[in-house]
Amino acid sequence: MQINNKIGWGIRIIFSWMIFSLHACCNDKEENEVIPICIASNHSLMALVPDFSIQTVGNTLHTKYPKLSRNKEFPMIGILKVDGKSYRFMGGDSLRPFPLVPLSTINCGWPARYSYLHPKDDWMRKEYDDKEWYNGLGAWGAENRPYPIHSTWTVADIYIRRHFNINDKKKLEGYKLYVCSKCDDHAEIYCNGEPIYQVDYFSNRIECKQLSDEVVAKLHNGDNVIAAHGWNTKENALLDFGLYMENKTYNDVDMAILKQMNVQATQTHYIYQCGDVELYLDFVSPSLLLEQYLMGCPVGFISYQIHSGKSEIHDVEILFDIDTEWMFGKNRVESLSEQDWCTVKSDSLYMGIAAEETAYSYNEGHVLLSQKLGKNKKDQGVLLFGFNEGKGLQYEGEILHPYWNKDGKRELKDALLFIGDNYKKLMRECDRLDGQLNRRAFQMRIPSFARQMILDYRKFISEHRFVMSQSGDLSGKTHEC
């Protein structure tokens, strides 16, 4: 990945200005004081690397899923159970639809009829006679794809009709229904002749579209048809689709009440009311600190703490549900317990939670991490996130290692566990830096500029990679990926 010298010098100047400002802050002798900056705008909740920096819009953390790069959802739900009652403090409606007509798996494809020739205009209707079409097994795609392909698709266009049977439509009443699909490159999908949606891009995640009331009304007991037209403009064709029903595991829980939101340079703080207790939730990016072993390190964490009345005893459990299949299009997960931590790896994402009083499970493409909290147990904990950046950055023939791993010998898992063991100390360091940055920023007496400067600092870190040049210097040759 190359950039011209002018851009490189421009980035070097910006980076040098930030470092100079931070060092000036660190030499400030005043008492630490964090000035609240409560805003309702788009900002980085956790700044790790360009491919994995969690974003949110305003105070929507408990009503919508946060975002990753390229506006991709980060499908994570946070639930706090207080005396048996559940409150959602993170995420939107559940992304766990129940399969009625499932997508393809490694061990099981789905039968359908298909044609490579352009059919009559009513080919998507249920009444269309497809007896002359070929019989095949979905999903269709290129043979070399890392996906459960059961039939080869090598031409430009394909038409597929998937029949399915409904025994008792009344059992579907009160539930949302979705057509879920995965395609490369384009597809238009119908249900009993009614258009559902058209996909014009490739995505690693599964796309879901809720059926309208009009389409649901046309479903009936007996034979129904989902029809799809796929067309491929490049190599690696793929088309898979199915019908799913809403899973109300988390839909019927109460939403936590947001009491306070406070955005700082290295952290975002939330306070939620969940029944009779308060949940203090902190998104922390230790990579924003100046220590060399942390600068640009792709590890962050969520710290959580329960506050209740001194004489009150509550049975409290915190639960995090991460849909790894929705995020990566893969359902392989590795887990192990090491150094008092339970760590989970899915694709490039690492997660860690203290092994004591915790539970881990993996079900239907979802990682579930939970921890018991309460009066006679720990009332606080931490959820760690790490993202594997992969190989070093190549620039003008040089292989540049990330600055936090400048010798190329550090493992991400070890960095994850180190930050987990020291997260309280790192939070204190972040508090100190936040206070110094606030005082420095507000000395200009222009609050709007001060707030924007602090947010831009976090944004800059989240959109750039810090690498070590072969000469042993911190390189400014980084830019948004």
41 or 86, greater pLDDT: 86
Averaged pLDDT, 392-401: 69
- pLDDT greater than 60 at residue 182: yes
Residue 372 to residues 81, 322, 354, 377, 447, Cα–Cα distance (Å): 9, 18, 11, 7, 41
Q: How far apart are CA 131 and CA 113, in angstroms?
A: 8
How many percent of the chain have pLDDT more than 70? Answer: 82
Count CB atoms within 10 A of the CB of residue 89: 22
The model's pLDDT over 112-131, given as tens digits with 9 standing for 90+, comes to 999 999 999 999 999 999 99
- pLDDT greater than 60 at residue 374: yes
- pLDDT greater than 60 at residue 36: no
35 or 52, greater pLDDT: 52
- pLDDT greater than 80 at residue 471: no
State the pLDDT at residue 117.
Answer: 93
The beta strand positions in 364-438, using DSSP E, are: 366-374, 380-387, 393-395, 398-402
Instruction: Kindly report the pTM of this predicted structure.
Output: 0.74
What tokens does 30 get?
């005043």
CATH number for the segment(s) 98-245: 2.60.120.260
- pLDDT greater than 80 at residue 19: no
How many percent of the chain have pLDDT more than 90? Answer: 38
383 or 329, greater pLDDT: 383
Contacts for 89 with CB less than 8 Å, ≥ 6 apart: 61, 62, 78, 79, 80, 255, 256, 270, 272, 274, 279, 281
State the pLDDT at residue 208.
Answer: 84
Look at the alpha carbons of 62, 317, 44, 263 in this order and tell me if their dihedral is positive or negative: positive
pLDDT grade, residue 35 (50/70/90)?
A: low
State the pLDDT at residue 366.
Answer: 85
Tally of helices (H runs) and strands (E runs) in the chain: 6, 32
State the pLDDT at residue 107.
Answer: 84
The beta strand positions in 38-156, using DSSP E, are: 42-49, 52-57, 76-82, 85-90, 98-101, 110-115, 134-138, 140-141, 151-152
Query: What are the domain boundaries of the chain?
Result: 5-91+251-475, 98-245
State the pLDDT at residue 363.
Answer: 79
pLDDT grade, residue 17 (50/70/90)?
A: very low
Q: How far apart are CA 296 and CA 461, in angstroms?
A: 7
CB 360 within 8 A of CB 392: no
Q: What is the mean pLDDT of the chain?
A: 81
Q: How far apart are CA 267 and CA 80, in angstroms?
A: 21
Backbone angles phi, psi at 167, to 5 degrees: -85, -40
451 or 413, greater pLDDT: 413
CB 373 within 8 A of CB 318: yes
Averaged pLDDT, 86-95: 83
Q: How far apart are CA 399 and CA 390, in angstroms?
A: 12
What tokens does 200 get?
């014009």
Q: Where are the alpha helices (DSSP H) in 321-422?
A: 324-328, 412-421
Averaged pLDDT, 390-415: 75
CB 271 within 8 A of CB 380: no
The beta strand positions in 40-94, using DSSP E, are: 42-49, 52-57, 76-82, 85-90
16: enclosing H helix or E strand: helix 5-26
pLDDT grade, residue 375 (50/70/90)?
A: low
State the pLDDT at residue 8.
Answer: 39
State the pLDDT at residue 31.
Answer: 43
5-91+251-475 fold:
Beta-galactosidase; Chain A, domain 5 (2.70.98)
Count CB atoms within 10 A of the CB of residue 348: 16
State the pLDDT at residue 392.
Answer: 60
